[in-house]
Structure 1
Amino acid sequence: ILMSLLLIATILTLYSRFTPGPLPFNVSRDSRWFTTQPSPITPSTCQPAENMVFIKTHKTGSTSLHCIFCRYGYANKLSFVFSTRNTKDGHIRKEHLNQSIILPPIGGFVNSSSKYNILTGHVSYKRKTINSFMEDNPIYVTILREPATHVESHMNFFSQRKQVMASMQAFLKKPRTSKNEAGRNNQLREFGLSFESTLNERIVNETIMTLDKEFDLVLILEYFDESLILLKHLLCWSFEDIIYLAQNQRTTRETITDTFRHN
C-alpha cells in the first residue's frame, strides 16, 4: 500500500510539473500547445494628417514623393495649391505665391476665405506666406540628397554638364566672387536663400538652424525607404499610403570624376 501511495504521489507531481498552468487570455484553449491568438490591439490615438506642405526640391527624388502626396490628396478629396499659370504640373517656381495665381480650393472660389490642405510642388519657401493659404498647423516636409550626386544629377537631367563643370571650377578657384549660379548651392537656395547669401557662412548656418526648427521631417534620398517609414509615422498613414513607383530615373548618365566629387 505504501509503495502504491508513493507511486501515485510521484505521478501527480510529474503531472503538475509538465502540465501548463492557467491559460493566458490570449491563448486558444483548443490548441494551446501549438498556436496563440494575437493580443488585443490598442486603437491608435493619432489621426491621419490632412494638412501638409511639401517643399519640392530639384533632383532629389522629390517627384516620387510628390506623387505620394498627390495620390493621397486625390483619394481623400483634399484641396491643393496649384498654379493657374502652369497647367502641366501646377508648380509655382519663380513667381511670388499669391491668391491670384492659384486655383480655388475645393468648394471655394478665388479670393475666398477657404484654405488649402496640401501644397506639394516647387515653390519658394516663405513660411508666413504659405501658412496664410493653408489650413491650421500644416506639417512641413522636404527632401535632400548628398551634394555631389545632386550636382551630377542636375547636370545630367538639364543637359548642363558644361555649364555646371565650369561653374564649379570657377567657384573652387574664387569661392567669394564666383557668380555663375549653375549647380551651386541649389538645394539651400530652394529654401528662399539668395545666391549672394550663400557666400555668407553666418547666414548659411543661421538658415540651416532655422530650417531645422521649422520642418517636421527632412527626408534623405539615399535613405528613401527608411525616410518613408518616418513619414508614415509622422502623418499617421498606412503602408498603402506610401507605396510608390520611382519617377524620373535615368538608365544612363555622365558621371563626374572622383577628384571633382572630392573638391
Structure 2
Amino acid sequence: MRRLGCHRIGLLWKGLLLFLAAAFAGQLLGIIFNKSAERPPSLFSLPSMDSLAPPLGLCQVRTHVMFLKTHKTASSTVLNVLYRFGEERGLQFALPLGYQFGYPMHFIAHRVKGYRGPRAVEFSIMGNHMRFNKVEVEKVMPADTFYFSIIRDPVALAESSYGYYKAVAPAFKRSKGLADFASDPWRYYDPRLRNNHYARNLLWFDFGLDHNSNFSLPLAKRGEAVVRRSFSLILISEYFDESMVLLRHALCWPLDAVVSFSLNARQAGASRGSFGGRLTLTEEQKQKLREWNALDWHLYVSFNRTFWEKVELFGKARMDTEVALLRTRRGVMARICLQDDGRPVEASRIQDKAIRPFQSGMVKILGYMLRSDLDNATYHACLRMIRPEIQYKDFLDAKQFPRPLQPSVLGAGSLRRELQPPRRAEQRPVRGTRIDLDRLGLGLNQTAPLAGRKRPLR
C-alpha cells in the first residue's frame, strides 16, 4: 500500500509539472498571437519563465566560469550564452589577443588580453578556443571558478570536422571524401603535419592530451581521470537542452539565461567548393571512425554515462518539465526576434555584416535575420542571441578595451546617427564588429547543428 501511495504521489507530481509547463506555454503563446498587428511584440512583455520553472533552491549565482570550447560540438551556442550573461551583468571577460588563445599550442596565460600577472586582474568568464592547460588557466581565473566543457559523438564530430577543415587538414585534403578517409585513415594521416590534429581524437587534443597515443584502456582511464579532476560538468552535444538545464542549476542562473538559438548551423545537404566525395557513411565506416578516434570514443561513452547519472539524480520528470519550458521559450523568442519563422538562412541573404556568420570549408554556415519592426530594447536583446561569435568577441573587446575616439573623425553628427536606431534592423550599426580575417587562424570553430535526439548510452 505504501508503494502504491508513493506511486500515486509520483503521478500527481508529474501531472502537476506537465500542467504548469502547458499553462506557461499557453501564457507565452497567448501574448504573441493576441498582440495587435500595429505593435511589434517585445521580449520585455513576456512573463518570467522562472516563476513557473522548478525552483533552483538555496544557491548562489556563479559568475566565475571557465568553458573549454571544444571544436564542432555546439560550443559556439554555449559561448553565446556566456557572452550574453556576462555582457548583461557587466562582467570582465578573459579574451584572446586574436580570436583564440594561441591554438593549437597549449594555452599560456600571457595569451589573455590585459593579463598582468597571476590574478592581478579579476576575470569572470573565459570561453574562447584553446588547447587546455589548467596550470596556466589558474593563473588567470579566480580560485572559485566553475570549469565545464562539452563533447560530441566522435562519428558526428568527424563528419562535421571533415566538412569544415577539409581545406586545412592534410589528411582530409588528400582523401576523396569522408568515406574514403574512414576506410583507411593511415593512408592519408601523417601525425607530423600541421592541422592534422583535426583528423584524429580532436576532443582528446582540445583537453590538452596526446591525441596520437596508441589506445589502451589504462591510458584512456588516466586521461578520463585528468578531465574529471579539471571539470565539474561535461555537457553532451546530442542532449543540448538537457545540458543547458544541468548547467543553469550548476551555475544557479535563471532559465532565460540559457535559452539560445543554434548558431553556426550547417545547411543540410549543401556543400561549397569542388572537394568531391561523400560525407554519408556506412555502419562499418562509422565503426572504423570510432576505432580511429578510440580515445575520444572512450571519453564520450564515459561522460555520457555520467551525464545520465546526473539526470537521474536531478529527476527525470523535473528534467522533462524544464526542457519543455526551455523549448517553449525558444520558440516564442524566435517568433518575436526572427524573420522566416525563426529558420536560419544562408549567409548571402544577410546584408548586415555584424550578424553574417563567417564561412569556411565545404559547407554553408547559416545565420539569422532579425525582424525589422522590433522596438529598440527588444532589438538589442535579440541581437545578442544571434550575433556570431567572431563579431561578438570583437564587440566585447571594444567595450572592455575602448579605443579613444578621434573628434575629427567622429563628430557630433556621426555620434548622433550611431545612437539613433535606424528604421530597418539590418541597417543598425553595431560597434566593435569589424572582422580582421588575418587573425582568424585555422582553429576557428563554427559549430555544426545539434544532432538529433538519441537514446542515451548506458
TM over 0.5: yes
Q: In 1, Cα distance between the equivalents of 2:279 and 2:56?
A: 50
The residue matched to 2:140 in structure 1 has which SS?
coil
Corresponding residue for 1:80? 93
Q: How far apart, in 1, do the equivalents of 2:62 and 2:263 lie?
A: 24
Q: Which residue of 2 aligns with 1:119?
A: 126
Separation in 1, partners of 2:257, 2:161? 29
CA displacement, residues 39-94 of structure 1 (integer Å, 9 cap, x when unaligned): xx99942111100110001100000001101111111111111122x1xx354423
What amino acid is the match of 2:78?
Answer: L
**Structure 1 residues 219-262: Cα deviation after superposition (integer angstroms, max 9, x where no partner):** 10100000100001000000110011111111134533223112
Who is 1:52 aligned against?
65
Change (3 A) 1:261 1:162: farther
Alignment CA distance shift 1:114-1:189 (3 Å): same
Are 1:205 and 2:230 counterparts?
Answer: no
Say if 1:64 and 1:244, in contact at 8 Å, map to a contact too: yes
Secondary structure, aligned partner of 2:286 = helix
Q: 2:84 aligns with which of 68, 71, 75?
A: 71
In structure 2, the CA distance between the partners of 1:186 and 1:198, relative to structure 1 (3 Å rule), is farther
Q: Unmatched 5+ residue regions in structure 2?
A: 1-50, 270-277, 289-458
Mapped contact 1:168–1:184 kept (Cα < 8 A): no
Distance 1:58 1:255 in 2: 18
- Paired position in structure 1 for 2:413: none
Aligned to 2:447: none
In the alignment, which of 203, 212, 215 is matched to residue 196 of structure 1?
212
Where 1:48 maps in the other structure, the secondary structure is: coil
Amino acid across the alignment from 1:110: R
Per the alignment, residue 244 of structure 2 pairs with 228
Q: Which moved more, 1:245-254 or 1:216-225?
A: 245-254
Aligned residue for 2:116?
110
Work out whether 1:262 is the aligned partner of 2:292.
no
Q: CA deviation at 1:195?
A: 3.2
Instruction: Kindly report the root-mean-square deviation, in angstroms, between the aligned alpha carbons of the 2 structures.
Output: 2.9
The amino acid of 1:93's aligned partner reads: Y
TM-score (norm 2): 0.43
Q: 1:248 to 1:42 in 2, by over 3 A?
A: closer
Equivalent pairs counted in the alignment come to 215
Q: Indicate the residue corresponding to 2:111 in structure 1.
A: 101
Aligned match for 1:241, one of 235, 257, 263: 257
Letter in 2 for 1:260: Q
Deviation at 1:200, TM superposition (A): 5.1
Secondary structure at the counterpart of residue 141 of structure 1: strand
2:200 to 174, 184, 200: 184
Aligned counterpart for 1:251 among listed residues 257, 263, 267: 267
CA spacing shift, 1:178–1:203, aligned 2, 3 Å: farther
Counterpart of 2:60 in 1: which secondary structure? coil
The answer as to whether partners of 1:99 and 1:110 remain within 8 angstroms in 2 is no
Measure the CA separation in 1 of the matches of 2:110 and 2:160: 34
Residues 163 and 103 (structure 1 numbering): CA distance in 2 closer, same or farther, change over 3 Å?
Answer: same
Letter in 2 for 1:255: L
* Deviations 1:165-208, CA, capped at 9 Å, x for gaps: 4654444789xx96364421111111111233354543222011
SS of residue paired to 2:262: coil
Q: Is the 8 A contact 2:106 2:132 kept in 1?
A: no
Give the counterpart letter for 1:235 in structure 2: L
Equivalent residue number for residue 29 of structure 1: none
Structure 1 residues not aligned, in runs of 5+: 1-37
Radius of gyration: which is bigger? 1
Counterpart-to-counterpart distance in 2, 1:260 and 1:64? 29
Deviation at 1:99, TM superposition (A): 4.4
Pick the structure with more helix per residue.
2
Q: Which amino acid aligns with 1:204?
A: A
Is contact 1:54–1:142 with CA below 8 Å preserved after alignment?
Answer: yes
Q: Tell me the amino acid that sits aligned with residue 207 of structure 2.
A: F
Tell me which amino acid in the other structure corresponds to 2:223. Answer: T
TM-superposed CA distance for 1:211, in Å, is 1.0
CA 1:64–1:91 in structure 2 vs 1: closer, same or farther (change >3 Å)? farther
Label 1:102 to 1:181 Cα distance change in 2 as closer, same or farther (>3 A).
Answer: closer
What is the SS of the residue equivalent to 2:213?
helix
Deviation of residue 138 (structure 1)?
Answer: 0.6
TM-score, normalising length from structure 1? 0.72
